[in-house]
């Protein structure tokens, strides 16, 4: 395809920059990256034809600096700018500056961004367009007394939501009036930090909600179409985890009502380019035409756009380029729906430690090779605490939802990551959850089942079985029978047992046929060894591909995105900072945004002592036991390094 314009600068980083570059290269468009200090050697920089340094690691000094991005565009003579998502993508002033500089803006008009950028104004527009919205308060009076009074009028439970921004930040659920003050302060603080605007609205909470969104597109000739819907109901702390298209249980009557409503919103603001109209849906029963309400409109490309591409066969980034260049969109009847697609967001975080972000160098990063992967990192890259934790998105497609789920589970089971923690096994367990498989979705599934879904013990048992197979093979290879560890006895069958430590947990493995026992528990296990270091198979209904590495007395097993290091008792790896004891330490670099601990104060196990903002999220650090605050090592507003002492406890008198 001949180039529509000569070059494109992507004002973003990570997987979305790499994704946009891929389509640009296919269309013959020269690619230009921008990067911060932390991203000097990043994948998106390596993949671009040209790259320009725009500042320090902090996003506020680099990717959020419109002046620096524009200067880079002028320096490289970029013909167009694509903002990706996040950062400056929904900043109308930046869009205007790009257009005034004579460059093509690959996105909606500044007026549309401005109209839909504030949730209160977006709701007013939706109401005027005849689209259903939830009851709520969108007023100018932001005093605590007024907001609380309005919440009482609406009736608890309610949601407090930041007027600006998106991505699940600045949103708090309030079940009763007594919680309102604390949750309001938290929402306003997070909104101010994320968007520079602490205004909020209050709306009625749908207690078993689904989150369904419609992909819309508009061109410069007044045509507006939709590319069907996506279901994004599987969420944690209002952050999407797994998305799919089409929505499970969708009927033609509901789809028609929902897509018509989405198009009304888009037409109301004369929308151009890619956008997403999001709806909150009653998930207490089957979908119905009167059971959804307008939530917001995201005036940009969405993280989850690949599932729409899979089921429609359309490259949405290509359509963004075509529309920006003045081309016509296809007619609605030319956009067909076929099959089912699922996207899993693979993040550098540890679900077993409250989803604590994981930073550092990636030693191994190996995907299965049978799915589409949009990745922002390769092996050898470093994950920085300056940005969010998204490593990659794995997208699977099949003709049925059941097949798509199976393929997604297989692909995640084959994921190998070493050097940092990921949520790969957590995602695999989410896909195996009975409610998810049946399509009985709502946004609270993960919260309700977090103890099971984030439990590492099942994955550890799977890895321990592989470690036992390795130990069994080592015994087989020993030539001197007197050195074997098989518990040989005269006139009795061999008996072997190994005691290993992993992550501070002692695991007892007994050799048995057909599968070893782990802590006395048998597993439904079948595997074949592909070579000396790699095996694949199925255990307790979860497919896997495992790789192991030996280093002295340690055996490292990589499976489903997790790394397990087994060693003899006493030789296990050191525990993570801040994992327990009397000291509460910073688990990663960040900013102290709230400090409730005071010297001399008595605290109970589980009390929140410090709130740390890192990787675009707030993390509550809690007391590991009852005690008294003996020492405070930081203050509110301070930037702290990983491992810094924040609070020291001593026993109560």
Tell me the pairing of strands 30-36 and 7-10. Answer: parallel
At 278, list the tokens.
Answer: 């999001």
| Residue closest to 642 by CA, chosen among 589, 579, 584 | 589
Cα–Cα distance measured from residue 153 to residue 144, given in angstroms and rounded to the nearest whole number: 14
Active site residues: 300
Q: For residue 285, count other CB atoms closer than 10 A to its CB.
A: 10
- Pairing mode of beta strands 617-622, 602-603: unpaired
- Cβ contacts of 492 within 8 Å, gap of 6 or more: none
Q: Is residue 12 classed as helix, strand or coil in its secondary structure?
A: coil
Q: Which residues contact 212 (CB under 8 A, 6 or more apart)?
A: 229, 230, 231, 232, 233, 247, 258, 278, 279, 281, 292
Contacts for 197 with CB less than 8 Å, ≥ 6 apart? 162, 163, 164, 165, 191
Q: What are phi and psi of 195, to 5 degrees?
A: -125, -5
Compute the residue count for the chain. 653
HEC per residue, 301-359: CCCCHHHHHHHHCCCHHHHHHHHHCCCCCCCHHHCCCCCEEEEEEEECEEHHHCCEECC
Separation between Cα atoms, residue 323 and residue 321, nearest integer Å = 6
The residues, any chain, with a CB within 8 Å of residue 474's CB and separated by 6 or more, are: none
Decide the pairing of beta strands 30-36 and 50-55. parallel
Q: Do residues 337 and 312 make contact, with C-beta atoms less than 8 angstroms apart?
A: yes
Q: For the purposes of burial, counting CB atoms within 10 Å of the CB of 211, is it exposed (0-12), middle (13-18) or buried (19 or more)?
A: buried
Q: Is the peptide bond prior to 512 cis by the omega test (within 30 degrees of 0)?
A: no
Q: Which residues on neighbouring strands pair with residue 489, listed in sequence order?
A: 492
How far apart CA 405 and CA 408 sit, in angstroms, is 5
Q: Output the CA torsion sign for 16, 18, 22, 24.
A: positive
Of residues 79, 92, 27, the one with CA closest to residue 50 = 79
* CB 416, CB 374: distance < 8 Å: no
Judge contact between 381 and 362, C-beta under 8 A: yes
CB 541 within 8 A of CB 548: no
Output the CA torsion sign for 499, 502, 503, 505. Answer: negative
Could you give the CA distance from residue 77 to residue 192 in angstroms, rounded to a whole number?
A: 35
What tokens were used for 508? 């007892």
From the number of C-beta atoms within 10 Å of its C-beta (0-12, 13-18, 19+), residue 486 rates as: middle
Tokens of 607: 């009390």
Q: How far apart are CA 487 and CA 494, in angstroms?
A: 6
Per-residue tokens: 342: 């699922």
């Amino acid at each position: 395809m001949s180039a529509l314009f000569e070059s494109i600068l992507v004002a973003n980083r990570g997987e979305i920059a790499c994704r946009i570059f891929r389509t640009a290269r296919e269309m013959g468009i020269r690619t230009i990256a921008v990067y911060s200090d932390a991203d000097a050697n990043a994948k998106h920089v390596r993949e671009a034809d040209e790259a320009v340094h725009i500042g320090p690691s902090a996003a506020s000094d680099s990717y959020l600096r419109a002046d620096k991005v524009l200067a880079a565009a002028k320096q490289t003579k970029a013909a167009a700018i694509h903002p990706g998502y996040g950062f400056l993508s929904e900043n109308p002033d930046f869009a205007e500056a790009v257009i005034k500089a004579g460059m093509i803006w690959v996105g909606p008009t500044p007026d549309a961004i401005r109209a839909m950028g504030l949730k209160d104004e977006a709701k007013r527009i939706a109401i005027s367009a005849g689209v259903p919205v939830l009851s709520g308060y969108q007023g100018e009076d932001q005093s605590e007394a007024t907001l609380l009074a309005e919440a009482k009028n609406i009736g608890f439970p309610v949601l407090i939501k930041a007027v600006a921004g998106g991505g699940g930040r600045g949103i708090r659920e309030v079940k009763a009036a007594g919680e309102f003050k604390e949750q309001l302060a938290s929402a306003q603080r997070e909104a101010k930090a994320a968007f520079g605007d602490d205004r909020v609205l209050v709306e009625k909470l749908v207690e078993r909600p689904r989150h369904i969104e419609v992909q819309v597109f508009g061109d410069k000739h007044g045509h507006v179409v939709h590319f069907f819907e996506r279901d994004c109901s599987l969420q944690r702390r209002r952050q999407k985890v797994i998305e799919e298209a089409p929505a499970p249980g969708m009927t033609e009557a509901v789809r028609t009502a929902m897509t018509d409503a989405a198009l009304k919103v888009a037409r109301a603001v004369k929308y151009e380019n890619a956008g997403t109209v999001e709806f909150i849906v009653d998930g207490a029963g089957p979908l119905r035409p009167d059971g959804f309400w307008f939530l917001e409109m995201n005036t940009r490309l969405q993280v989850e756009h690949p599932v729409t591409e899979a089921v429609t066969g359309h490259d949405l980034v290509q359509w963004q380029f075509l529309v920006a260049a003045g081309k016509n969109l296809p007619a609605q009847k030319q956009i067909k729906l076929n099959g089912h697609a699922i996207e899993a967001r693979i993040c550098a975080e540890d679900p077993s430690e409250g989803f604590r972000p994981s930073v550092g160098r990636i030693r191994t990063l190996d995907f299965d090779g049978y799915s589409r992967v949009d990745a922002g990192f390769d092996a050898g890259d470093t994950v920085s605490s300056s940005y969010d934790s998204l490593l990659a998105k794995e997208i699977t497609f099949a003709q049925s939802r059941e097949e798509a789920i199976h393929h997604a589970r297989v692909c995640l089971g084959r994921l190998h990551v070493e050097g940092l923690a990921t949520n790969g096994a957590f995602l695999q367990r989410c896909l195996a959850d009975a409610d998810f498989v049946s399509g009985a979705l709502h946004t609270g599934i993960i919260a309700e089942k977090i103890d099971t879904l984030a439990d590492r013990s099942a994955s550890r048992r799977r890895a321990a079985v592989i470690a036992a197979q390795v130990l069994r093979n080592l015994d087989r290879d020993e030539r001197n029978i007197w050195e074997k560890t098989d518990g040989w006895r005269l006139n009795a069958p061999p008996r072997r047992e190994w005691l290993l430590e992993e992550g501070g947990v002692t695991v007892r493995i007994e050799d048995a046929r057909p599968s070893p026992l782990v802590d006395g528990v048998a597993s439904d296990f079948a595997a074949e060894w592909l070579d000396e270091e790699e095996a694949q198979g199925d255990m307790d209904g979860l497919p896997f591909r495992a790789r192991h590495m030996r280093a002295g007395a340690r055996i490292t097993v990589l499976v489903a995105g997790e790394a397990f290091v087994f060693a003899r008792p006493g030789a296990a790896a050191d525990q993570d900072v801040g994992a327990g004891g009397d000291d509460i330490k910073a688990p990663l670099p960040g900013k102290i945004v709230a400090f409730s601990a005071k010297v001399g104060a008595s605290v109970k196990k589980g009390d929140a002592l410090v709130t740390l903002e890192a990787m675009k999220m707030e993390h509550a650090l809690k007391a590991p036991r009852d005690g008294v605050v003996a020492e405070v090592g930081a203050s509110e507003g301070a930037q702290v390094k990983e491992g810094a002492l924040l609070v020291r406890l001593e026993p109560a008198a």
